[in-house]
Every structure is written in structure tokens, then in C-alpha cells.
Structure 1
Amino acid sequence: MTAEKVRFNVRGRIFETTATTLATARRDSMFGAMFDDEWKIQPRGDELVKPEEKEYFIDRDPDCFSVLLNLLGTGKLHVPCNIPEKLLYMEAHYYGLLDQVRTAKWGDFDSNRLRLASTVSGQAPGNCTAIRASPDGGCAVAHGGVVRVYDWMLEEHPPLNLEYQSVNDIGWMDSDNIVMSVRQNLTRRPEVGGMGVFSSMTGELRHRFQLSDRKDQVKGFAAGVLCINSDSNKVLASCRETTNEGIGAWDQVTGKQTDFFDFGLGRNEKIQWFHRRNCLLVNSFINDKRRINLLDFRDKSVVWSWPDDTKTCHVHANIYDAIPMEESNTICVVNRYRTLGFLDLRGTKKSVRWNLNDGGDTEQRCYAKLILHGGQIFCSMDHKISVYYDGLDQWVLTSSLGSSQGGSIRDFSIGGDRLFALHSEENVFDAWETPPPPIL
């Protein structure tokens, strides 16, 4: 990398820096586009201009440019009091430097160093259902018939709605697009329901997903839980209409249906793609009994199911959630006693190996949920989120996140180097961040 000098004219103010400093920006930033494949400044085609007079003109705010240039050079973010943070973030977005700004504002995600950074009040007390973290540090929260979207500064954008039908689930396809699933009103407007993709910035409905029956007739349908498989650019969802019940698959870009698995789900709570097995994990209640299934869309078969013995299904009714563990080829479950259990998919015996719990039964209504992130298991129960690390013989509790005035945790999500926890009673959500390293 050369230390070639680079000159900028930002609305009349001259800035000089080096190619080495600019190269700390990512390839997809505006500054990254100035380099060739070997990270050398590309020629500008003005060879007649003297080297000391070559400059790049930028018609943007010079004060913000100075802050961002200093960030590239030092890795530290210092915002003078005369610069509104919102203006700086807008300028950082223009240059493609938001990731660097976020990294300087808070550190890389570290579950054992998380701190409560913000608590945001909801808009519909007692009526929240889900929260999903966006890839860039914002989130979306489902409130009855609308989804409220917050950017990474936790400022609210226009809400999303699909004919104000009750929202069942939400998911981020990327930082700009949110998919929403809603119920179908069979008695009043059966054509209403299904799923739609919205702009996270404007709330505009970009396109709707349609479900076709066996005769290729498009029908309204109720969409339930969602799963986004980024590897295949597919959106999967449980869906139900008058004649079909199962799981559909749609292309993310076009919204066209690509597949349908005709499978009786019962009351399902989560579907999640198991990449190692190339199957869909379905965690549901069937006839009031907990069932965990692995569905193979290639031949429309159930390749694994638990428990086998229907007589003992009631023993497992207290299991609240299940997630795939890619590296170990197992499924992790949690019961009402905050105990983690593991189902090994490599053997023939389908029994749960239980881990030690971190504290007894729960008497309050809870919404237990599991997330695997960064090699650690996060488990929400009642008012706290427990974090587990994989020890030699068992998963060890390493930290607990407990907050606020909002009551039991209804849902939580991790993304964009943040953890968001949605509380049920007061309908508030908390944002947890890792503090940046100290300035030496």
C-alpha cells in the first residue's frame, strides 16, 4: 500500500490525506471505489494537471467530512458539539461509512460485556408480539396490525401494515426490506392476508406474496411464522387457507411461489433452516403435544421427528423452544425449568441429554426463546436472558441480562452488534450494546 497523498475539496475547504488512510474504508464505501483491485488509487484521466493540484470535489458538509476522515485515520469517533449526530450519521451513510461509525460508537458484540444502552417505549401497551434486529443495528417491532421500524439511531420510520390485519411474524431480508406475515379474515375479507415485502425506510409495500392451489388458482391465505434462507434467497412461511395447509417457499426478489410442503403443522411456533442437514426445523404443537420435525423439501419428506413414542409426548409438553446447532449436528431445547437439553442427530437413540439448570421452576407467564449466536446460547425466561458457553462436559452459564420496568421478556433478537429485548407488560424494548474499548 502506497502512502500517496490525496486531496479533497469539500465545498471549498481543502483536506489532504493519504491512500493508506482512505484504504481503511471498506471496498463498498465511496472511498473504496477510488481504488483498483490492488488497492492503488485509480488514475483520474487528468494527466495534464500537476499532481499537487489534483483534487476530488465533494458537495457535502465539510465539518462532517472532517470527523469521518479523522475516524478513518484514528479509528476513534469524536463529534464536536456543533455537529448534530443525525447529520453526521446521514453523511456517514452517504460515504458508506456507517459500519465504521457504529464500530467506533460501540464495540463488536461481546455477550459478557453487554450493557443496557437504551429503553424505548412502545405504542400499543400489552399488544406486542415480536421484535427483530436489522442487519445494521435497528429493529422492527410488531404491534397488533402494524410493524414499527426503528433505524440504528432508534428513530422511528413510517409504520408498515398489510390492510391492518394482525401481524403473525416479521423478518429482515436485508437492511432495506422487511417481510411481514399476517392473518386472513375468512368471514369478512378472505382475499386479505398473506405476506408482503416493505421498504424499511418509507413503509411502502413493494410486493405481495401469493399462494397458488393445486389448480394454480391464487387465493388469500393466513401466513404464520417465517424463515429467511439467505443461501437460496427464499422466504419460507407456514400458511393456511381453506384447502391447503403447510409451508410455502417464495423467491425473495420476485415474490413468486417456488415450492409448497403439504404438511399438517398444528399450532407451530418456529421454523428455522438447518443448513447442515439442508432441512427445515419445525417446532410445533400437534394435538397439544410438542413435536420437532425436520422437513426435506427436495422429496417432501419428514426425515426426522421427535419424540417417537406418542405415549410419552406429554412428558415433553414443558419444552418451550428448539434451535438447530449446526456445528455439533444437534438440536437444543429448553424447558420450563430453564434447563437446556440436547438431541444428538447422529445416533439412533432419540433422547434428550439435559444440562444443569440455572434456577428452578417459573411461576410467571413466560415466553422462553433460544438463539444461538457467536457460539453461545441465549435463553430468555421471565425477566432475564441467560447466556451459556460450551464447556467441556456441559454448557456453562456465563452472564445474565436483566432489565427494565417492562415485565417479562416477550421476544428478543440479535443483529447489527446489538441485542434487543421486547417486554410484554409495558410494551417497551431494550437495546443492549457492547461498550467500545477505552481510549488509551
Structure 2
Amino acid sequence: MCYILKKINRQDNTSKKIIVVAKMEEESTSHANDRIKLNVGGKLFETTLSTIRSGGPDSLLFALSNRFSNDPNPVFIDRDPEIFSVLLSLLRTNHIPSTARRFSKQELTDEALFYGIDSYLRAATSPPPFSGIDASIVDSVRPASEGLPSTFSAAENGSVWIAHGGQLSSYDWNLIHAATLRTHLDEINSICRVWPEIVAVGSESDAGLHFYNFSGSRHVGSLHWSDPSDPRIFKARVNSITASENSVFASFDCPHRENCILEVDKAKIQIVSQLGRQSGNQAKHMVPGKLTWIPATGVLVGSAVTGGAFGYSGYIRLWDPRSGEVVWETNEPGAGRSSRFGDSFSAIDVDVEKLLLFKLCSKSGDLAMADIRRLGDDPWVYLKEKNPSLVTNGGDGSINSLVHCYKGQVFVGRGGGLEVWSRVQDMAECESDGDGEGLYRRNFVDKREDSEKGVIKKIEGGGDRLFISREDVEGIEVWESSHSAGAISVL
């Protein structure tokens, strides 16, 4: 903007006043050009262009900001003004205001999607980095029909897919119900995400591995284990499923206990190879009840465990799918330190990031760890509890216990109780010490009333959440850390 001033005496203070007025008018006009008025549902809002453009170039508000700025008429948007007020505050501060409590998650999400700022809402409502020590129950996801979950699968974005009876229900990152589809199975006991919208499932009552598409609510295909030369191979059911970047691995067993692992091409849904075929006539030939793929090494980990009047027995095996060979295995009883003979594991899991194996001993209840990169005849390091009041007295490593590794933490469910083992010492220091003293610290996660809700059946992490299901309890518990967690400096 150009300003023309009359020629006057430089010594006259009037010239200085004119220059100041001109600058003030210029700044005022500049601020006016940076403002925009919006009429949302009959309520007038005034904000800056930089605020509504902060939603990103793909948002509706960014497109509206390009309207001719000198137009005196406000932009009209036929939407709810109260929810828009919440979203505008979000763009201004990157935080959700307290007034958002008046609206449901669904209402806020729908409006954020309309304006194209759902990523902003997600960032503001996502839980803080997950810390098991500070975790607590914040929500429960409960399907509308057949609310007892048979199994579930969590994703990296914090969403979860739940199998309940013969149905599958998906819940998005905001734990809002997205879709439900009914399968042809009576009950689903194994579930694995293959693609963002494709799920692979298995049932203990129906044969075969089955694929379903959530977006189209349709059955994509099925695969069965068969062998024309062996009449014992029929009606093979799936016990566990895991997936790599290009393949799906599923363990099958038949009524006569013959079992194997089939590798399936994810893109073509075709069987590629067969691993670890066994007769199943003894404990070390049982079908793997748990499969885990380790991307860093390209190795498949499978384990099986059984318990009875004479104790527990089982095995852990590592397969190389490229050769089809077992690269390491251990059988219990029959392996481990002499002092640990007979203290077979009742549960195992793999920390795929740290490349560690964890097992829970059935008699002592102790937790043991082994480095996958240095496996041998006896690779186990037994983690010791230094607090005498927390030392287990045995009997809590039973079949009602399970182990789950997530984000460098090890979660152990013992009956209805939940505890977390957090790393406090480096592995190299542990090796110099010669034992697991102080390598991990044990803490109880739940409250007494939580542990009395029922026996924990499954634990799985996703995003910054932990999901837990319990025996004969409807729904899935959602555990998150508090935004106020962590040490606060007083300096």
C-alpha cells in the first residue's frame, strides 16, 4: 500500500505524526487481510488465515481460506457450530478443550473428517507413550452381540479386531466401531491381520484357513491342508496364525493329531510350502499353539505346551522357511539347567525388536530370558526378584498364566493378575554379572479389584495401548498410560 504525504518542514512534529498514523493504518490493514470470518450453522466465528490453514493443504478449511479476502461476507458452512468451536480450539492450541466432553468420540471424529483435520484430532486424542508401570484401564470395547470375545488382534495404530462367536468386529484408532461381518464359522479361535482390510481366521470346530475382507464384508477364500497319499490328513483345523511381509503361516492339526505349518502367499492366497510335519503322538510333536515371525532374522518361532496331573511339557522351535529346516529347538522337560529340570515352561513369547525369548516356568513361576542371536544348549537367564515381598512362591506359572512382550516390556498374566517386567540393565552388564540379577524390574500393573474380574486369557499391544480379554467376561479391556506419567522436576 502506498501513502502520499504533503511536503512540509522537517522540523515540524506534524510530519512525524503523519508517518506514525500511516504505519498504524498499514498494520491494521495487514491484520484485516489475515483474518477470515466463518458462519458455521448461523454462528459467526472470526479467526486468522494461519489458524485455519494449519489443518493442512488437503483440508476443507485450507480451501476456504483461499477465498477472496476482501469479500465482506463471511463464509457459510452448514455444520454444527458447537463442535466447530472445539475443532477451532484444537487448531489454535493443538489441544482438545474441556468443552469437548459434551460430545461423543463419533461426533468429533465425523466433524473432523468433514473438515479434513482428522489427523489433528487423532494426534490430540492419542494416548501418551505406553508405560506398563503407569497403565490403567481407560475403556472397554464390547461388541453389541455375542459379547464374549473368543480372540482378538491389535494393530500398530491402536485399532483392534475382535472375534466374537462366528462374527468379526473392527474398531478404529479411536475405538469406534467400524464394521462387523458374519463368517461361516461357528467360532473363531485364531485371527491375524494380513492386509489393512483382510483378516485370516481359523476355528477349532471348522477345518481350514479362511480369509475375509472387512471393506466388502465378504469371504475372500479358504485353504485346506490335504495329502492324497495319507488318509489321516483330513479336516485339518488351524491352531495359530502369524504373518510376514509376503507370507502367512498357519499351524494345522488333524483329528489323528498329525500336524504341520503351511506357508501361504499373501497376494495369491496359495500354499507355498509345508514346514515341520509331525505325527503328533507325543508332547514334542504337538501342533504349535503359538507362532511368531521375526522380521530381523527371517525366522519363524513356534511353541507348544501341555499340562496335566504329571506337570507340563512342550517345545520351542525356530524354523528357517527358506530351507524348511529347524535351526534351533528346546524340549522341556529334558533341557535347561539341572537345578531347573522338571520346571517346564507354561507360556512363552518373543520380543521381536530386542530379539529375545521369554518363558514362564510352571512350578517356580520364574521368568527366564534367552537371546535369539546366542542360542545354545542352555541359553536361559532367569530374572530374579530382589524384593523379598514380591518373590513368587511357586504355583503361579500354571496354564492360566501367559507372557506378552510389547515395546521393550514383558507383561505376565498370572490368573487374573497383571504384572510388567521393565528393563533396567543392559544385556552386556547382565553377562558380566553372570545372572539376571537386576536386569528387569517387576511391578504390579493392576489394582486388586482388576485382578478379581477374571482369569486373563489374552494380552496384546497395539499403538500406545494394551488390550486384555478375560475368561467369561464380555468385551476387551483397554489399558493406557496417563498423560501425567513420569518424573516431574521440582527445580
**Which TM class, normalised by the smaller chain length?**
0.7 to 0.9
Alignment partners' CA distance in 2, 1:369 and 1:6: 58
Is 2:436 the counterpart of 1:409? no
Higher Rg: 2
Query: Cα 1:169–1:66, aligned 2, differ >3 Å: closer, same or farther?
Result: same
Q: Secondary structure at the match of 1:406?
A: coil
Cα distance, 1:283 vs structure 2? 1.1
Report how far residue 311 of structure 1 moved: 7.4
Equivalent positions of 1:307-318 (< 5 A) are 307=331, 310=334, 315=341, 318=344
> What is the CA–CA distance in structure 2 between the aligned matches of 1:414 and 1:224, rounded to whole Å?
21
C-alpha distance in 2, partners of 1:326/1:136?
A: 18
Match of 1:74 in 2: 93
Q: Equivalent residue for 2:250? A: 237
Match of 1:263, SS state, is strand
**Equivalent residue letter for 2:382:** W
**Residue 196 (structure 1) aligned to one of 200, 211, 235:** 211
Residue type of the alignment partner of 1:371:
H
- Larger RCO of the pair (alpha carbons < 8 Å, separation 6+): 1
Alignment counterpart, residue 384 of structure 1, candidates 413, 417, 429: 417
CA-to-partner distance for each residue in 1:272-296, whole Å, 9 max, x for gaps?
0122321001011489731111111
Distance 2:113 2:267 in 1: 24
- Residue 431 of structure 1 aligns to a residue in which SS? strand
What RMSD, in angstroms, separates the aligned Cα atoms of the two structures?
4.2
Aligned amino acid, residue 298 of structure 1? R
Amino acid at match of 2:90: L
| Aligned amino acid, residue 344 of structure 1 | D
Instruction: Between 296-305 and 378-387, report the one with greater CA deviation.
Output: 378-387
Letter in 2 for 1:395: Y
Q: Is 1:257 the equivalent of 2:266?
A: no
Offset at residue 383 of structure 1 (A): 1.5
The answer on whether the counterparts of 1:413 and 1:420 sit within 8 Å (CA) in structure 2 is yes
Q: C-alpha distance in 2, partners of 1:304/1:133?
A: 29
- Cα distance, 1:168–1:70 mapped onto 2, change above 3 Å: same
Establish whether residue 247 from structure 1 lines up as the match of residue 261 from structure 2: yes
Q: 1:436 to 1:309 in 2, by over 3 A?
A: closer
Structure having the larger proportion of residues in strand:
1
What TM-score does the superposition give when structure 1 sets the normalisation length? 0.75
2:111 matches 1:91 = yes
Match of 2:367 among 340, 355, 370: 340
Is the 1:387–1:400 Cα contact (8 Å) retained in structure 2?
yes
Q: After the TM superposition, which of the residue ranges 10-19 and 86-95 deviates more from structure 2?
A: 10-19
Kindly indicate whether the alpha-carbon contact (under 8 Å) linking 1:322 and 1:331 is maintained by their aligned counterparts in 2: yes
Q: Aligned pair in 2 of structure 1 residues 363, 322: CA closer, same or farther (>3 Å)? A: closer
Does 1:353 find its partner at 2:386? no
Distance 2:196 2:169 in 1: 15
Q: Which moved more, 1:164-173 or 1:244-253?
A: 244-253
Which residue matches 1:223? 238
Q: Is the 8 A contact 1:344 1:350 kept in 2?
A: no
Give yes or no for contact 2:188–2:202 (8 Å, CA) kept in 1: yes
Deviations 1:307-361 (A, max 9, x none): 4984779946631222233455432212234321122342544342211254222
Q: Percent identity over the alignment?
A: 18
- Distance change >3 Å, CA 139–CA 362, structure 1 → 2: farther
Paired position in structure 1 for 2:433:
none
SS of residue in 1 equivalent to 2:200: strand
Structure-2 change in CA distance of 1:220 and 1:20 (3 Å): farther
Structure 1 equivalent of residue 320 of structure 2 = 296
Partner of 1:188: none
Where structure 1 has 5 or more consecutive residues not aligned to the other structure, the ranges are 26-30, 36-40, 186-191
| Residue 33 of structure 1: aligned partner | 58
Q: Does 1:182 align with 2:203?
A: yes
- What's the TM-score once normalised by structure 2's chain length? 0.68
Q: Is the 8 A contact 2:357 2:371 kept in 1?
A: yes
Q: Determine the C-alpha separation between the residues in 1 that align with 2:48 and 2:227.
A: 63
Q: Does 1:282 align with 2:329?
A: no
How many residues end up aligned between the 2 structures? 408
Contact 1:162–1:182 (CA under 8 A) maintained in structure 2: no
